[in-house]
Amino acid sequence: MTMRLDHVLEPGSGKAVEVRRGEVIRVEQLEGGQCADFNAFNLHDYREFFHTGRTRVLHGLFPTTGDMLWSAPPRERPMFTILADTAGINDISFPRCTGVLFEYAWGYATHTNCQDILAEAEREYGLTPDDVHDSFNLWMNTKVDAETGRLSVERNTSRAGDYVELVAHFDCLVVVSVCGADVFNTSNFSLKPLRLAVRPATDRERTDWLLPETRRFANQRVVEDFKIKEIRAERELSRDPAYVAEWPRFPITTTSVEVELTDDEYRQLDALTSEGSFGETDEDVLRYTFFTWCLGHWMQPRPTWSPDLG
């Protein structure tokens, strides 16, 4: 397949590359066992960028084939869908490594790290170190301790030839770095090169994966919706003396709803209220059990985009 870009990322380096709507970016292992950090921005509005938090909530800690990478609120829409993931050990729980981390943990005054690499790669497009954000960590094999909730990084099990491919749903700037954490087992205590490539999606991939361009959610916000549309240039913050709050939903009101229960349902409600784990009053318990049922039976992933909806 013809690649529009085919580039080798050497240890200590990164690359910023434009990926247009309908193009596929591929990051590939050349030797195996190397972690990569992935940043992404809307090519036409850099304040829309990849958000680990929203992606984590919708797709879990370990995104893989079929999952989407979402942009941050208030834009909040899919940026990419993962088409292929041959190793299946990606992570969005750990933040990018920094020089401070290596200085604090190891005493190194100088050490390669993802924050500095990503910042330098993004500088080609006029971005600053402030614009680097938490990454999609390709081939970072992380685990969560079920008892303590603590995160750990395990041995990187990717092999030469393993790759991750993502299709872009709108024009993006993607920035990839060779993770510099050689004193952790993130990349098995060594640094290796990676391959970065961009190609057009196939007709089948566009049909199966590419979302319509129409914006779907009424609650998405773009610059035109902002009350303040200019990006700040000065760093110091000061209060606007003319500011008057305009809350989007205020005041909040509460309405009581009568609910009819059968005798058997009343007995179940009394038992749950007496047990005490779901609230102190019948109203608390009924509300809790009803919405718990909704979470399990009614709330489902909705179609993200529809050609019929603006």
Residues 203-232 as b/e (b if ≥16 CB within 10 A, e otherwise) read: eebeeebbbeeeebeeeeeeeeeeeeeeee
Could you give phi then psi for residue 186, rounded to 5 degrees?
-50, -45
CA 241/CA 232 separation, integer angstroms: 17
Residue 288: CB atoms within 10 A of its CB come to: 14
CA 39/CA 50 separation, integer angstroms: 7
The pLDDT value given to residue 245: 80
Q: Give the rounded percent of residues in the chain with a pLDDT score beyond 90.
A: 73
The pLDDT value given to residue 303: 45
At residue 155 the predicted structure's pLDDT band, cuts being 50, 70 and 90, is very high
Q: Is 96:76 a contact under the CB 8 Å cutoff?
A: no
Domain regions of the chain by residue span = 5-224, 244-298
The pLDDT tens digits for 86-137 are 999 999 999 999 999 999 989 999 999 999 999 999 999 999 999 999 999 9
Average pLDDT, the chain: 91
Q: pTM to 2 decimals? A: 0.86
Is 172 or 222 the better-scoring residue by pLDDT? 172
The pLDDT value given to residue 309: 41
The pLDDT value given to residue 231: 86
Least confident of 45-49, 77-81, 214-218, 301-305: 301-305
Is 223 or 300 the better-scoring residue by pLDDT? 223
In this predicted structure, the answer to whether residue 304 has a pLDDT above a threshold of 60 is: no
At residue 215 the predicted structure's pLDDT band, cuts being 50, 70 and 90, is low
Beta-bridge partner residues of 144? 151
CA 174/CA 26 separation, integer angstroms: 11
The pLDDT tens digits for 38-55 are 999 999 999 999 999 999
Name the residue with tokens 């970072």: 140
